[in-house]
Amino acid sequence: MRHLSAGRKLNRNSSHRIALARSQATALFRHGRIKTTLVKAKNLQPYVEKLITTARGGDLHARRLVAREIHDNDVLRKLMDDIAPAFQERKGGYTRIYRLGNRRGDAAQEAFIELVRDEA
């Protein structure tokens, strides 16, 4: 039975998984879209969505909670001042994953993960 064994290990220890999620989230907020493997994108998506939801609060407490995870001050400022207010009316689903096919070297499935911008 698989009780209490949810989540992907990504063949890394826990501190490496945390560092990977933080660095990928920072890159996603900086560039708006990143290319990674499908498994890493699926692992990153709920992490980023929770950060954006927290940042939507907009107050000092929300900024400090997000600053625990995002250590780049420029990216933190961009998240709090630009990205989070843009999603203020949205109830979730801030990111989108596009599958790209297999990587040539090791046949790993690749994907783009990007922040959703309203096309209206």
Tens place of pLDDT per residue across the chain (120 aa): 878 677 889 999 999 999 999 999 999 999 999 999 999 999 999 999 999 999 999 999 999 999 999 999 999 999 999 999 999 999 999 999 999 999 999 999 999 999 998 754
35, β-bridge pairs:
112
* CATH code, domain carrying 27: 3.90.1030.10
Rounded-to-integer distance, Cα 98 and Cα 38, Å: 9
Q: Are 111 and 99 in contact (CB under 8 A)?
A: yes
Give the per-residue pLDDT at 119: 59
In a domain, 5, yes or no: no
Half-sphere CA count of 38, side-chain side, radius 13 A: 10
In a domain, 62, yes or no: yes
Q: How many domains does the chain have?
A: 1
| Residue 105 lies in domain | 14-115
In a domain, 34, yes or no: yes
3-state helix, strand, coil in the chain (%, to 5): 50, 15, 35
